[in-house]
Structure 1
């Protein structure tokens, strides 16, 4: 039976177990009083050997020596265990972070954007900053595993990533910035993947805007399933970004197939 917390942590790391919970540690150190264990955890945290992921979770993350400079191992090593197992929270990595996972973001993403069912406060784990966004019907959203040698976490499919980016463009720097990301994502999107993503999100305005963007970027293969999905649904004239203008300017810059007015600065296919 190990006598010290450091021995327990070393043994866990050798087994590849970086996610540990207070109950597990107590079971491995039965002779340690609750106060002694609390102080030992605090010392290991001060030394950078442990990181507590959030208050009240009792979920601790072992920091291997090779990750000491960043203060935590990569997200793949702990994100899924923390959210899905410890917190029992459905999630997926989305938006610009998902695009980055697909190698499709021309911007450096400073935070990891995670979609969850209910509102959560941001957390910082080492150099990783996680920002949470709420998503209704999250368990119906199509996802896949993003895997590396360190582990894996759930990420939105390329098609769902596209829809999320369009839906939340105002918080991502505007549709101009989103368009740059979408151009890099189009080759990874398929007709087979688009249909379930549209059905899960079930937003006609987002689908209309997607149609206008696909037309601008000449993505004919994806226009067919989108048009089929929109058939029979009620649409109204909307703006690709911002508010609809008044007068003739509206007619001159409108995609009539999808009833989307396109601001002149977004109309160029550049």
Structure 2
């Protein structure tokens, strides 16, 4: 049974906040060229993953619960919550090492970029705490040649803050070196999209 059919009732019963995230949310935004074999749920409390016959759900938690950027969608069983395109994109980038790496998600990010709106990005910037993820996000959006109107709010947001060099793909024993781009992103992995 698809997770969107029972997620609201389950988390209402558990009295927990949740939203479908990563590849699970991306498919509802029309981004996902391959069928998702696993569902991903962000919660405000840790849960054990569930893998039983056709049910495969991985749970994640976040240090700062989103105050915005959670969208309600309708299913046959009622309303369920998913991350907006902007939150889906930064969640993927932030958790890239747990989800197969930046190249595995590059095609998804490219498709998601078509669903981004200026309002969605501005809402994200009003509360999102991870500057290094925003640096990677705007760098990748530039690489994907997204419209300037979508890049501008992130650029202005970062220019107001002090930010330091970051690796495009974080590695535990590697530090960012010299960078030659405005967002101080050290390109330590060759970008290869499936599209």
Q: TM class, shorter-chain normalised?
A: 0.7 to 0.9
Mapped to 2, the partners of 1:139 and 1:261 lie a distance apart of: 28
Residue 198 of structure 1 corresponds to which residue in structure 2?
125
1:122 aligns with 2:70: no
Of residues 144, 164, 186, the one that matches 1:236 is: 164
Taking the TM superposition and a 5 Å limit, the aligned residue runs for 1:58-137 are 72=1, 74-83=2-11, 85-124=12-51, 127-137=54-64
Aligned length: 192
Of residues 162, 177, 188, the one that matches 1:263 is: 188
- Write 1 or 2 for the structure with the bigger share of helix: 1
SS of 1:152's equivalent?
strand
- Bigger radius of gyration: 1
Q: Please tell me whether the aligned partners of residues 118 and 149 of structure 2 are also in contact (alpha carbons under 8 angstroms).
A: yes
Of residues 140, 151, 155, the one that matches 1:227 is: 155
Q: Please tell me whether the aligned partners of residues 5 and 75 of structure 2 are also in contact (alpha carbons under 8 angstroms).
A: no
| Structure 2: tracts of 5 or more residues without a match | none
Mapped to 2, the partners of 1:131 and 1:104 lie a distance apart of: 19
SS of 2:73's equivalent?
strand
Taking the TM superposition and a 5 Å limit, the aligned residue runs for 1:160-171 are 160-171=87-98
SS of 2:160's equivalent?
coil
The structure-2 alpha-carbon separation of the partners of 1:139 and 1:81, relative to structure 1 and needing over 3 Å to count, comes to farther
1:126 positional shift = 6.3
1:142 aligns with 2:69: yes
SS of 1:161's equivalent?
helix
Comparing both chains, which one has the higher relative contact order based on Cα–Cα distances under 8 Å and sequence gaps of 6 or more? 2
Q: Please tell me whether the aligned partners of residues 91 and 138 of structure 1 are also in contact (alpha carbons under 8 angstroms).
A: no
Q: Please tell me whether the aligned partners of residues 195 and 229 of structure 1 are also in contact (alpha carbons under 8 angstroms).
A: no
**What is the TM-score with the length of structure 2 in the denominator?**
0.88
**What is the TM-score with the length of structure 1 in the denominator?**
0.65
Mapped to 2, the partners of 1:126 and 1:152 lie a distance apart of: 25
Q: CA RMSD in A?
A: 2.4
Q: Please tell me whether the aligned partners of residues 90 and 139 of structure 1 are also in contact (alpha carbons under 8 angstroms).
A: no
